[in-house]
Amino acid sequence: MDTLESIWLNTKKLIEKTLSDDDKSVVYKEFFDDTSLVELTDREAVVLTKYQFHTLVLNDNEHLNLINSSLQKVINRDIRCRIVFEDDYYKVKEDEIKNKKNSVEEFTNNVMPEYTFENFIHGPSNKEAYSAALAVATNPGRNIYNPLFIYGDSGLGKTHLLCAVGNYIKDKSPEKKVLYISSNNFVNQVYQASKNKSIDLLKNQLNSLDVLLMDDVQTLSGKKTSNDVFFDIYNELFNNRKQIILTSDRLPSQIKDIEERLISRFTQGLSVTITTPEFDTALEILKLKINTHNISPNSIEPEVLSYLATNFANDVRSLEGSLNRLLFYSINYNDKETIDMNLALEAFKGHVTTHKKQTELQIKDVINVVSDYYGITKNQICGKSRTKNIANARHIVMYLCYKHIVDTSYDKIGKELGGRDHSTVLSGCEKISKLLKSNESYRKVISEIEHDLLTR
């Protein structure tokens, strides 16, 4: 095959000959001699000049025609030449290379290192997703778990688990190509690539992966080109037994405006869900996060942790936020060694209403939950019995009403609890507060009841 150099040499010979026939040898020497051919596609050739001024000259009709027709003769097909000043040409090329390089870098090493299995607390709410993720991490590409589809509300740990798989595989098999990418970023990459006409490059990059971790696939909804590109990549990876893990805030069948063929592939492997952490899991997560803040776990009273786990564990992100708020508040306003319930109540004044049910809570709800918990009747709680068990349940009702019900008072509580007076309720609340300070198993009981109350 002829090289660009030899093609151009022959073309220049033709041009030189034509010009010398016309007595314009000097024109050839001045403008054509040091041109070069750098690109030749089906329809277009790119010819470079050494000086900007030469580009202007060679771009006039007469010269351009001469160049086009000479090159056509040499390669024996129709072709148009683009005359470009060398410096401009290489500048554009450099930028293109830089852009490509950036996108390649973006495509590797982007699994967030802080999310691992070691710092993922597992409990009933996420056990299934945790086990499946671990199974995939230890043995990627096995068909039954391909793709692994993890779904659940925001803030419940989907991204964390996804990256945990990536970090695990990278650690055990550093040669494996692992990519974490959010679907939003993927859509952007597809958009850029289609603008730069480099969709094939993008596909090649992704097709060469061993593990694709794609976050929040619900955002592919309505993005036709991205759906198509993803479909091709998906099939290629799947057929080559490469592991795919996807997350979404909903089930595949609930993702609107996404191609049916993609949905059916999403459900081809295993779908697992993560739900709101239960009380114990939330408590464990809090302890772990306290550790990462380098704070001694003893510096926060257990009652406070129960309070956070009860009121802010709708999702883990909010739970972390509540701890951060508490620590911030403590650094600025606490003059004691430990963080106690008083400080927590101060820190979250006006914030606990983030728990929707809190505002709707009424005294009768507390009576219901406590009587259910102890297996006694409402009448017993509101009645006159002083049996230890019943009196204790009654005191707990007083304490929880005062703690959780917005805009209440000892008087109001007393009235609904069989017409008791202010001071009886006050002393009941104090009894419980004291027990909470001194008795670990009692704290557990109260937390459990609080949990029932706020998730009823």
Per CB under 5 A, residues contacting Mg ion are 158-159
Phi and psi (nearest 5°) for 95?
-60, -40
| Cβ distance to ligand ADP smaller for residue 120 or 180 | 120
Distance in Å, CB of 159 to Mg ion, minimum: 3
**From ligand ADP, Mg ion, none, interface partner of 140 (C-beta below 5 to 8 A by class):** none
**154 interacts with ligand ADP by CB under 6 A:** yes
7-21: burial string, b at 16+ Cβ within 10 Å, e else = bbebbbebbbeebee
**From Mg ion, ligand ADP, none, interface partner of 149 (C-beta below 5 to 8 A by class):** none
295-322: burial string, b at 16+ Cβ within 10 Å, e else = eeeeebbbbbbbbbbbbbbbbbebbbeb
Please count the other Cβ atoms lying within 10 Å of the Cβ belonging to residue 403.
18
Which of 58, 111, 121, 381 contacts ligand ADP by CB under 6 A? 121
Residues whose CB falls within 8 Å of the CB of residue 399, separated by 6 or more in sequence, listed in order: 428, 429, 432, 433, 446
Which of 158, 395, 404, 420 contacts ligand ADP by CB under 6 A? 158
Closest-approach residue to ligand ADP (CB)? 157
**132 interacts with ligand ADP by CB under 6 A:** no
**305 interacts with ligand ADP by CB under 6 A:** no
- Output DSSP code: residue 375: T
Cis peptide before 147 (omega within 30 of 0): yes
Among the residue ranges 81-89, 119-127, 331-339, 431-439, the one whose residues contact ligand ADP (CB under 6 A): 119-127
- Confirm if 243 and 168 have CB atoms less than 8 A apart: no
- Confirm if 324 and 362 have CB atoms less than 8 A apart: no
Please count the other Cβ atoms lying within 10 Å of the Cβ belonging to residue 188.
15
**316 interacts with ligand ADP by CB under 6 A:** yes
Which of 49, 55, 126, 205 contacts ligand ADP by CB under 6 A? 126
Distance in Å, CB of 304 to ligand ADP, minimum: 19
- Confirm if 29 and 16 have CB atoms less than 8 A apart: no
Quote the tokens at residue 298: 């003893």
- Confirm if 396 and 432 have CB atoms less than 8 A apart: yes
- Confirm if 330 and 296 have CB atoms less than 8 A apart: no
Ramachandran area for residue 399 (φ above 0: left; ψ -120 to 50: alpha; else beta): alpha
Distance in Å, CB of 188 to Mg ion, minimum: 17
Among the residue ranges 155-163, 256-264, 356-364, 430-438, the one whose residues contact ligand ADP (CB under 6 A): 155-163
Distances (CA, A) of 391 to 277, 283, 364: 32, 29, 17
| Cβ distance to ligand ADP smaller for residue 156 or 343 | 156
Quote the tokens at residue 28: 């050839």
Among the residue ranges 44-52, 61-69, 151-159, 448-456, the one whose residues contact ligand ADP (CB under 6 A): 151-159
Distance in Å, CB of 249 to Mg ion, minimum: 8
**155 interacts with ligand ADP by CB under 6 A:** yes
- Confirm if 108 and 205 have CB atoms less than 8 A apart: no
| Cβ distance to Mg ion smaller for residue 182 or 447 | 182
Which of 55, 159, 227, 311 contacts ligand ADP by CB under 6 A? 159
**160 interacts with ligand ADP by CB under 6 A:** yes
Which of 77, 98, 127, 317 contacts ligand ADP by CB under 6 A? 317
| Cβ distance to ligand ADP smaller for residue 238 or 266 | 266
Give the interface with ligand ADP as residue ranges (CB under 6 A). 115, 119-121, 126, 154-160, 285, 288, 316-317, 320
